[in-house]
Amino acid sequence: MEQLTSEPNYDVPDSTDWLNTPLSALMPVEQAFRCHVCKDFYNSPMLTSCNHTFCSLCIRRCLSVDGKCPLCRKTDQESRLRGNWALREAVDCFKECRASILEFARKPAPVTTAASPKRKAAEVEDSEDGAERTPKRPRRSTRSSRSRGAEATPALSQEEVYSPQRSEVADEYIPDDGLVACPICWERMKLQAVDRHISTGSCPGAPQPQSQLQAPISNGASTRSTQQNFPSTSKAKPQHPAKVLEHLPALNYSMIKDQPLRKKLAELHISTYGPRQLLEQRHKEWVTIWNANCDSAHPKTRTELLRDLETWERTMSSAARTGTLYGTQAALPQVKDKNFDGASWATSHDSSFKDLIAKARQTKKQAEQKAKEASEPELAPVVQQPNEREMAHRESGSIDNGGGNRYHNEIIGFDGAADFAIPVTNNRADQAQPSPAADSWLLK
Amino acid sequence: MANNEQVNVPSLLVILALSGLIVRYLFFSTPASSRAQQQASRESSTARNREAAVQQLQQMFPQVDRRTLLWDLQRTGGNMAATTDRVLAGRLETPPQSFQPPPPPTPPAAQAPSPAASAPAEVKPAAPDLITRYQLQDKLAVTATKTQETESGKGAKGWSTNKEERQSLLQKRRDQMILEARRKMEAKIAAEKEKAGAAAS
Amino acid sequence: MSSSAHRRLLQEYRALTNNPPDGITAGPVSEDDFLHWEALIQGPEGTPFEGGVFPAELRFPRDYPLAPPTMKFLGEVWHPNVYPSGLVCISILHAPGDDPNHYEHASERWSPIQSVEKILISVMSMLAEPNDESPANVEAAKQWRDRRDEYEAKVRDGVRRSLGL
């Protein structure tokens, strides 16, 4: 998480990071926050009927394979999973403060020179911090004597420094005005008004009966004990305006014929390409990631899920070719969607776009030269398969204007950085020899 | 007539004897080596048929794994219909762990059904020892002096955010492990020799 | 975005690097292919394998950890549970699926909660205590059962040869 920019794939924090620091006792603590299956922090932890906890996605995958709890091998069903929201909160909080604690623990302890650490360390700190710290001294020194001596104390004091900041943040969100927040839309109002607010539908997220899934959590958050949930929840809110996600039912694939299955996939807006076996696997995976997403506190958008599905398919299929082809087809309807996340798409493929633009500029120049030499214009490599519009442009000679970006938009007739990727994708599917730039980002 | 009969009886006998020999040759007294060959070729052909059958079955039942199908086919003698019935009825048995089917793409000859028969020396002609395998010859001489150093450097090990660095660290740990083992073994052998020498004198 | 198998193997690699168990070194052969690992296992002490170092390759399926990897010794290992090809036959490497009549307990089988570390530790203890109920190398199993001295001598000899001595 810390070094997302350089190598996102290679940074995996692990509980062993605490070893060789004075806080090595935190290793088992962190281990307790990690899923037994993926070894990562719990992501939407779910409780099985045998009282074991796993990530929602992990346990759903395991159950779809052999229907047994990976820890005790008791049979269980997906429908009997229950969310472990308290753990989710604990994990989220731990994740948030982990980096700073670790950073602190890795710093060389400033007071290690003291020969008999317990007393001297306390004294040194007293003189440094002055009167403000003094009342806390007895408690702290007993704690440090229980832990490994002086090295541990700075970390503890650091923790204490954090807590006032936290409560400040929380205070921002709970003004002391005698009002309460609506458990659904967080609008502040008088306590008596909440019921009417929800039942009359003036709350944007209220009327759906499915909101049961989220309402209890929100209720919990409005009590004092879970104030820290406030900032994140209210931050996430505008992105997903009270959209309640419904779990998808599993299908019995042996009971369903080819055509209905294809129809089902089409209904879910996922690709219907490929043989029957692939269709079943794809549907199963989609149901799994979709249902796991439903358990998440911050659900991903459909587009992100589709990308996950695409990644899954690429890694699972031995023939990488078909994976790419499928990916192209699946992405297409999404790009046209109204809620398509154009900005993220644009940033993630920025370099490829720049490549394409540079290529387009080059080929434009070449085309100009050739147009001078001969009356018959050559096709640019990026747009080898001309569509009708493009032909019209070329015939009227309007190709000779503007820079690369404008050039693209002109030809293709779309606006916006996100949308202009579509025709390239289209070409990619038909082209016999794809341009390297287009290939490189498709394979990403 | 009599002449005719006399001619016929010995020729009949000869024919009988010949056909007897042929039958014997074909069905009973095959020499050991050629019989083994025959068996091997028969085995490889059945293995090929099995492979085809498994592929077909897997298309029908992708949920059943290859190993289970192969095991069942072996038990039913390659009868696809019987196996299909058993899959449908859910009566498939889990193969015992000793059952190791041949890997999917390689020809069946690669998997000998009685692995114990071949000596291990034949199976592993490559990689005679670890030192040559990991190209540590030149490091052998240096180790004796450097051991203390490397041991003290051991504390610095850990996760690196750099891919190349990680790779080289792993390599270093690997080499160190082998060299250390070799050093210990050398010492042990030397000690044994000394003991033997002392006992002899 | 990487697949879950990739991410989990990276996690395990990091844990094995930060906190390697005694006598075990493991990691991907090349980070370009995280599904192919190489491991070194030290022969457990107090056994004829003592002092030896045994290289092995691990190959992971794409849906790891749902399915177990396969493990193959790259050198010569004379052991009842190791095929002459080097393939290791041990219950933890066998896919889930209950077989009540079989001696193996389900708990010994592969489960997504297992890890490379646990596999390698199990293999280490397998070297120390062969399981001759389902031998992979019948000859070695027979020798181990009937002529233990010969078996141990052969193993010791193999260990020395593998170290180039």
3-state SS, one letter per residue, for C71-131: EEECCCCCCCCECCCCEECCHHHCCCCCCCCCCCCHHHCCCCCCCHHHHHHHHHHHHHCCC
Q: What is the CATH number of domain A25-106?
A: 3.30.40.10
pLDDT recorded at residue A203: 63
Q: What pLDDT score was predicted for residue A56?
A: 93
pLDDT of residue A165: 42
Residue A329 clears pLDDT 80, i.e. is over it: no
Q: What average pLDDT does the structure give for chain B?
A: 70
CA angle A410, A414, A415 (to 5 degrees): 95
Q: Is residue A48's pLDDT more than 80?
A: yes
Report cis status (omega within 30 of 0) of the bond before C65: yes
Is residue B111 situated within a structural domain? no
The pLDDT tens digits for A418-436 are 444 444 444 444 444 444 4
Pairs of residues, one from chain A and one from chain B, whose beta carbons lie less than 8 Å apart: 13
- Would the pLDDT of A167 be above 60? no
Judgement on whether residues B86 and B139 belong to the same structural domain of the protein: no
Q: Which residues of B touch C89 (CB under 8 A)?
A: 97-98, 100
The C-alpha atoms of residue A441 and residue A232 are separated, in whole angstroms, by 33
Q: Could you give the number of structural domains in chain B?
A: 2
Active-site entry in C16, C26, C89, C124: C89
Please report the pLDDT score of residue C60 as a whole number.
93
Shared domain check, B137 and B80: no
Q: Looking at the complex, report in whole angstroms how far the Cα of residue A62 sits from the nearest Cα belonging to chain C.
A: 7
* Closest-CA distance of chain C to residue B190, Å: 11
Tell me the average pLDDT across A336-350.
56
User: Are B129 and C83 a contacting pair at CB < 8 A?
Assistant: no
Q: Which candidate from C25, C87, C164 shows the least CB-CB separation from B182?
A: C164
A358 pLDDT higher than 60? yes
Residue B178 lies in domain: 130-144+162-199
Does residue A380 surpass a pLDDT of 70?
Answer: no
State yes or no: pLDDT of A34 exceeds 90: yes
- Out of B65, B93, B173, name the one closest to residue C25 (CB): B173
- The pLDDT assigned to C127 comes to 92
Tell me, yes or no, whether B68 lies in a domain: yes
Which residues does chain B have within 8 Å of residue A6's beta carbon, measured at their own beta carbons? 161
The reply to whether residue C76 touches residue B124, judged by beta carbons under 8 angstroms, is yes
Contacts of B96 in chain C (CB under 8 A): 99, 102, 134
Q: Which of A12, A17, A65 sits opposite C66 (nearest CB)?
A: A65
- Does some domain include residue B24? no
pTM: 0.55
What is the average pLDDT across A198-207?
A: 61
Nearest to C163 among B127, B170, B182 (CB): B182
pLDDT band at C41 (very low <50, low <70, confident <90, very high): very high
Interface test with A, best of B55, B57, B60, B63 (most A CBs within 10 A): B63
* Smallest CA–CA distance from B163 into chain A, residue: A10
Q: Hey, where are the domains in chain A?
A: 25-106, 253-321
pLDDT at residue A344 in the model: 59
- Put simply, whether B154 touches C (Cβ < 8 Å) is no
CB contact under 8 A, A20 and B59: no
Residue B34: the pLDDT is: 54
For residue B78, is it within any domain? Answer: yes
Average pLDDT over residues B131-138: 76
C-alpha–C-alpha distance, residues A244 and A207, integer Å: 11
User: Among A118-122, A252-256, B56-60, C128-132, where is mean pLDDT lowest?
Assistant: A118-122
Q: Residue C69's pLDDT is what? A: 93
Per the CB < 8 A criterion, the answer to whether B111 and C79 are in contact is: no
Contact C95 B182 (CB under 8 A): no
Cα separation, C49 vs B176, whole angstroms: 19
C touches which chains (3+ CB pairs under 8 A)?
A: A, B
Q: What pLDDT score does A270 carry?
A: 85
User: Tens digit of pLDDT for each residue in C45-96?
Assistant: 999 999 999 999 999 998 888 889 999 999 889 999 999 999 998 888 887 6
Contact between residue B48 and residue B59 where contact means Cβ atoms under 8 Å apart:
no
Secondary structure of chain B as H, E, C letters: CHHHHHHHHHHHHHHHHHHHHHHHHHHHCCCHHHHHHHHHHHHHHHHHHHHHHHHHHHHHCCCCCHHHHHHHHHHHCCCHHHHHHHHHHCCCCCCCCCCCCCCCCCCHHHCCCCHHHCCHHHHCCCCCCHHHHCCCHHHHHHHHHHHHHHHHHHHHCCCCCCHHHHHHHHHHHHHHHHHHHHHHHHHHHHHHHHHHHHHHC
Per-residue pLDDT for B29 more than 70? no
Interface probe with B: pick from C14, C22, C30, C85, most Cβ of B within 10 Å: C85
Q: How far apart are CA C51 and CA A307, in angstroms?
A: 50
Read off the amino acid at residue A5.
Answer: T
Q: Is the pLDDT of residue A330 over 50?
A: no
Is residue B112, in this structure, part of any structural domain at all? no
- Residue A146 scores a pLDDT above 50: no
Let me know if residue B35 belongs to a domain: no
C25 near B CB under 8 A:
yes
The answer to whether the CB atoms of A17 and B159 lie below 8 A apart is yes
Give the whole-angstrom CA distance, residue C89 versus residue C42.
Answer: 18
Complex confidence, ipTM: 0.83
Q: Do A71 and C15 touch (CB under 8 A)?
A: no
pLDDT reported for residue A346: 64
Residue A175's pLDDT is 52
Lowest-confidence region among A220-234, A269-283, B125-139, C87-101: A220-234
How high is the mean pLDDT of chain A? 64
Supply the DSSP symbol for A184.
T
Q: What is the pLDDT of residues A79-119, one digit of tens each?
A: 899 999 999 999 999 999 998 988 888 887 665 444 444 44
Mean pLDDT: which of A74-78, A138-142, A363-367, B135-139 is highest?
A74-78
The helix/strand/coil state of A364 is helix
pLDDT at A393 over 70: no
pLDDT over 70 at B123, yes or no: no
Domains and CATH numbers, chain C: 4-163 (3.10.110.10)
pLDDT surpassing 60 at residue B155: no
Q: Examine the residue annotation and report whether C76 is marked as an active-site residue of this protein.
A: no
Question: Does B35 lie at the interface with C, CB-CB under 8 angstroms?
Answer: no
Q: Could you tell me the two tokens for C115?
A: 């890890």
